[in-house]
Amino acid sequence: MALILIIVKKYRGVISQQISLFQVDDFDKAFTFASPSIKNIFGTPNNFGKMVRRGFPMVWRTKGVDYLELSLVGDALVQRVMITDKIGEIFILNYIMVETNKGWKIRGVIIDQRPFT
C-alpha cells in the first residue's frame, strides 16, 4: 500500500507541476512533463503551448484542481481530474500517465466532460 501511495504522489505531482507552469506561461518547463511521444508530436515548447492555449484553456488558466479516481488502461495509468476554470465552469479530464526512464510523464489528456455545474 505504501508503494502505491508513493507512485500516486509522484504522478499527481507531475500533473500539478505542469498545471502550475501553465499558469505562468512557462511552456518550456511544462513541456518537460510531456512524454516522448507528445514531444515528438509537437516538437517545440512553443507549439505545445499553442495547443494547450487553444485546446485546453481550462488547464491553461485554472481556478481549481481535484483528483478523482485512478484506473489502469493497458500499460498506462489514467488519472481523472476535475478542473474548475477561471470562470467557474467544471471539466473532467483524463490524464494518461506513463513511467519513463526520466520519471512519470503525461502521455495525453482527454476531455471527458465539458462544462457542467
By three-state DSSP, how is residue 2 classified?
Answer: helix
Q: Residue 116 above 60 pLDDT?
A: no
> Quick one: which of 10, 29, 9 has its CA closest to 18?
29
Per DSSP, the residues of 9-59 read HHHHHHHHHHHHHHHTT-HHHHHTTB-HHHHHHH-SHHHHHHHHHHH-HHH
The residue-averaged pLDDT of 53-58 equals: 96
pLDDT: which is higher, 113 or 88: 88
pTM: 0.90
Q: What is the pLDDT of residue 10?
A: 87
Which tens digits make up the pLDDT trace of 60-109? 999 999 999 998 888 788 999 999 999 999 999 999 999 999 999 999 99
8 A C-beta contact, residue 50 and residue 31: no
- How far from each other are the two terminal CA atoms of the chain, in whole angstroms? 34
The C-alpha atoms of residue 50 and residue 66 are separated, in whole angstroms, by 24
